Amino acid sequence: MTFKSSFLGVAPVPSLRRRAAATLPSSLFARSMLATALGSTTLAAHAQTAVPDATALPPVVVSATGYPQALSQALPSVSVITREQIEASGAQNLTTLLQQVAGVQVTSNGGPGQSGNVFLRGFGGPDVLVLLDGVPMNAQDATGVAYLNNFTTDQIQRIEIIRGNVSAIYGSGAIGGVVLITTRQGSKTPQASVSVTAGSRNTATVSANASGQVGHTALQAGISRYTTQGISAINPAQLGNANPNANGYRNTTMNGSIVQTLAPGQSLGLRAFRSEGRASFDSYGSYASPTDTNLSRTTQDLYQLFSDNQITAAWQSHLNASQQSTTNTTQNFSAFPYSSTYRTRVQQLQWRNVVALGAGWTATGGLELQRQSIASITGSIPGKERNAKAAFIGLDGSFSGNEVQLNLRHDAIDGYSGENTGYLGYGRELGAGFKAIASYSTAFNAAPLGYLYAPYYGNPNLRPEKAHSVEAGLQWSQGPNVWRATLFQTKATDQWQYDFTTSTFQNIASSRTRGLELSGRGNWNGWTYDANLTLQQPVNTSQPGDPTLQRRARSMANVSVQREFASVLYGASVHYSGPRWDNGPSGRVTLGAYSTVDLTASGALSKDWSWNARVQNLFDKKYQTVYGYNREPLGVFLGLTWRPAL
């Protein structure tokens, strides 16, 4: 498994390596910490086999503090999905992976490529911050989402998900949590692969990746193409006048990087990423017709220049300048045609530092400057832009069986007064692998530019959302096994909601989510497992009556197991979601509870060739996450990968 230097912020300094080595087996330190933090690619052993061993060693995370540490050491609640797990799952879309994570709920207006939302502990939309190689992906439009349904998995190296309020670490938008995505990167040794997948609904994927090093220059390039006939997004029996045809989707993703080592501990790099998705979608209602055609195109670009510098033996610095843009085009061909194109952009300059203080303590800190903007090509949204500046510091360490993490951050965003946020976490070793964990944190979220300035419903006087959270948990860890039980509560005020009286967004909502989260992953008697259960109460505290928030389930669970038999890795996953309510044409309706089962298998055909298979929704369960919108039925997909020895 590997990281981007931009995602990590910095490579670990020697004392951090020693600290990690003291808490992890030496084999993990050599294979995971060094390969991850120093930017090498997946180990050759994994490159030559389709039987990954993703949890045979304790996983390493960087999102909780900004530098590598064992998952069992992290005080915030973190989940990690490695490249090996992505390949073993056979999942072709990012949201398919995310719905297996504790506390995560995915909704979609149909099949692949359709609009949707991702909720973390009951918070969604602009309250879930998404970072790609350390750069915010949430659009500055009237949705505030990161369009995760437009992400395929072939060019993703790693995903980390922090559940809960971490605004003091990552800034505005992290009330519900953070999804950190790392794209694939290069290696020092030459590597190449070509993969093809085909299956139900005329689904096909072709991807190619290559990397290596020439002298002091490391190169990487990858491209993937995903196409599917899809399904009919809308059920015409529930929502009238909808087009019953299948809504197809195609996506092309490109990723590349070049990193030049200037001197020992000094490197300069350039990275580029582009994802372009095109889909047809359905509309309904009095202005729609069964013959209507609707098309959408979403393009996400990221360009990044970065420098990693070892200032001293204890101080590592990372500086990056980046630009991320999301462009959306919507076209309707009907008796009432329309077309719109708009682009949101975030230009970011960030400086991050990690300093080993000695005696088990580490300090982090840095500065960040963003230029956020939105522009409408068709003129429906006036062009707007603003500056966002931040300074942040952190301190993490342990003494006499106690672990403390403190993060403070100050954000200054045009149009708002300065906002201060904090995170205080504490862990106490209890012996026999048990640890008690508690934390308190505050958060805020500045309204996207589309919420402020969109014609008709924008409100430039919106105040930022505010939140504070408390958590208490008990963790047990031994070797690769990490189990945690967490009680959590987050209260949010001044939340944005569309007000039908004024026909604009207003600060009229407040909510609270509290619950119990159980999660565990590891190995047992040759079985690899990952299981979680979330019992939550996401409620609207500003509304009388039944306060449960729309489309949020009060109970969710996932169980995944893998076992190798005769050189073939077999896997099974079960996903459960409890009932939820939604709005229908005649008022409130209940979306029933559902369970889906997926099966996977993978193995090696030879030294250079491997195969994988995935059965999705084995029992062809019919379910909806948004009223009137269908989800994927039974599907079977087969893949073949060639990794030549170079």
Higher-confidence position of 614 and 38? 614
Report pLDDT for 167.
96
Over residues 487-504, mean pLDDT: 90
pLDDT tops 50 at residue 44: no
pLDDT tops 70 at residue 209: yes
Rg of the chain in Å (alpha carbons): 23
Other CB atoms closer than 10 Å to residue 629's CB: what's the count? 26
Residue 44 token pair: 């050759």
Render pLDDT for 422-448 as a digit per residue (tens, 0 to 9).
Answer: 999 999 999 999 999 999 999 999 999
Over residues 531-546, mean pLDDT: 89
Q: Are strands 177-183 and 128-132 parallel, antiparallel or unpaired?
A: parallel
Report pLDDT for 14.
38
545 Ramachandran zone, left/alpha/beta (phi>0; psi -120 to 50): left
CA distance 193 to 47: 9
Over residues 469-496, mean pLDDT: 96
Count of structural domains within the chain: 1
Report pLDDT for 471.
98
Confidence of residue 236 (pLDDT cuts 50, 70, 90): confident
Confidence of residue 47 (pLDDT cuts 50, 70, 90): very low
The percentage of the chain sitting over the pLDDT mark of 70, rounded to a whole number, equals 90
Report pLDDT for 58.
63
Confidence of residue 546 (pLDDT cuts 50, 70, 90): low
Residue 7 token pair: 């995602």
Render pLDDT for 153-203 as a digit per residue (tens, 0 to 9).
Answer: 999 999 999 999 999 999 999 999 999 999 998 778 899 999 999 999 999
Q: Over the chain, what is the mean pLDDT?
A: 89
Report pLDDT for 57.
59
Distance of CA 379 to the CA centre of its chain: 32
| Contact indicator for 41, 49 with CB cutoff of 8 Å | no
The domain spanning residue 295 has which CATH number? Answer: 2.40.170.20
The percentage of the chain sitting over the pLDDT mark of 90, rounded to a whole number, equals 76
Render pLDDT for 57-108 as a digit per residue (tens, 0 to 9).
Answer: 568 999 999 999 999 999 999 999 999 999 999 999 999 999 999 999 999 9
Which residues constitute the domain of residue 252?
Answer: 5-642
Element (H, E) at 96: helix 94-98
Confidence of residue 636 (pLDDT cuts 50, 70, 90): very high
Short-list 412, 422, 471, CA closest to 446: 412
pLDDT tops 90 at residue 332: no
Q: For every residue of 297-355, which 3-state class applies, written as one string?
A: EEEEEEEEEEEEEEEECCEEEEEEEEEEEEEEEEEEECCCCEEEEEEEEEEEEEEEEEE
Report pLDDT for 65.
92
Over residues 486-505, mean pLDDT: 90
Render pLDDT for 7-33 as a digit per residue (tens, 0 to 9).
Answer: 223 333 333 333 333 333 333 223 333
Is the pTM higher than 0.85? The answer reads yes
pLDDT tops 90 at residue 557: yes
| Contact indicator for 609, 641 with CB cutoff of 8 Å | yes
Render pLDDT for 559-572 as a digit per residue (tens, 0 to 9).
Answer: 999 999 999 999 99
Render pLDDT for 237-281 as a digit per residue (tens, 0 to 9).
Answer: 898 888 888 999 999 999 999 999 999 999 999 999 999 999 998
Confidence of residue 56 (pLDDT cuts 50, 70, 90): low
State the number of CA atoms in the 13 A half-sphere of 473 facing the CB.
29
- Specify the amino acid at residue 391: A
Over residues 119-132, mean pLDDT: 95
CA distance 181 to 175: 18
Short-list 340, 409, 343, CA closest to 372: 343
pLDDT tops 90 at residue 413: yes
Report pLDDT for 16.
37
Render pLDDT for 446-469 as a digit per residue (tens, 0 to 9).
Answer: 999 999 998 888 899 999 999 999
pLDDT tops 50 at residue 528: yes
Place of tokens 């690769």: 480
Report pLDDT for 379.
63
